[in-house]
Amino acid sequence: MSDYITHDKNGVSVGRVQKKYFTFAEPPDEMVLESGAKLGPVTIAYETCGELNRDAGNAILVCHALSGDSHVAGYYATDDSKPGWWDIMAGPGKGIDTDKYFVVCSNIIGSCMGSVGPPTMNPGTGKPYGSDFPMVTIGDMVDAQKALMEHLGIRKILAVIGGSVGGMQVLQWCVRYPEMVVAAIPLATTTKHSALAIAFNEVARQAIMSDPDWSNGDYYDGTKPATGLAVARMIGNITYLSDESMRLKFGRRLQNKSDFSYNFDADFQVESYLRHQGAKFVERFDANSFLFITRAADYFDLEKQHGEGSLVKAFANARAKFLVVSFTSDWLYPTYQSKAMVKAMKKNDLDVSFCEIKAQWGHDAFLLPNERLDIMMKGFLNRVWRETA
């Protein structure tokens, strides 16, 4: 429940929110991961907005992307400069209306934003896990979320929503726990990474592991692999944008100069932007977590894991109503991948709506203000709410 309501340029905010923690899988009852390894205790950081109704039937789970966190909307304090990462979408009267729905967002395991991950203290050694952290999968992340939802008294989720790696979690929810999911909105996502997506992730990982300060993942008592992580983020940022967005934002414009420096300074605005984004990322994220999460995304393969190589079979047990959304300029997870999942869903006679939204900003378009997306999500959720009530 928010402590107060504020107004900002995006409209009404949910106001003040608080990060909470849930711990389960205490030894000797550790969580068994898909790899066969065991992990415990497992702590999940999460936040909630809105009020859970009497029958716990208005819960919406929002799943964040690779470097996201549980802070989906609102503010921690009145003087915060920025709200949660999807404050434009979650709040009173917005696409995900917190006057009507109870919104939950948890930090995925393997991350560094409050949930158990490589920077967490290993109870067996008294030191951070580092590279000894067990490999986790998208399925493991969803299993941990399920434990949290049950802890909150939620046995059926009105909708699971997420983009990119968050969208992978949405799809995993629908096929792994079909009885719990009423509706799903996977945005700008895929059922499996292409060779191109895996390649970009591998280059980013190599940038980190080639940094001498990475020290095989055991750098927590020393110098962080800042250069490697910054380069990895720069690579990622290129995949999140599009050719058109880069042309419009930067072109070949120079950065605070009238001519070339004739050295390796950041002459171009796009160079300065990438360096700035890399430096900012180092301040808030962990290199090992980046390695583990990108690996989990690469391993994700819905048709192999749930359909014996058939995407149609993968959705055979799904029951949710779907709203699938792609964006025209997203070349990381292009529209043909969304159309493939929609086709497989329809072959299982599922209730599916699909929309390709014209957007020039690339993969990151789902995170940016978009009136069409806002209206579409609000309408879809309202329909599911009416049909469920």
| Catalytic sites, residue numbers | 164, 330, 363
Angle of the 195-209 helix axis to the 226-240 helix axis, nearest 10:
160
Helix (H, G, I), strand (E, B) or coil at 184: strand
Q: At what angle do helices 269-284 and 226-240 cross, to 10 degrees?
A: 120
CB 185 within 8 A of CB 342: no
Name the DSSP class of 131.
Answer: G
Chain position carrying tokens 């994220």: 285
Which ranges of the chain would DSSP assign to H, the alpha helix? 138-151, 165-176, 195-209, 226-240, 243-249, 269-284, 287-299, 302-306, 311-314, 335-347, 371-388
DSSP string covering 352-388: EEEEEE--SSGGGGGGS--HHHHHHHHHHHHHHHHHH
Tokens 């340029």, located at residue? 9
Inter-residue contact 43 to 116 (CB < 8 Å) = yes
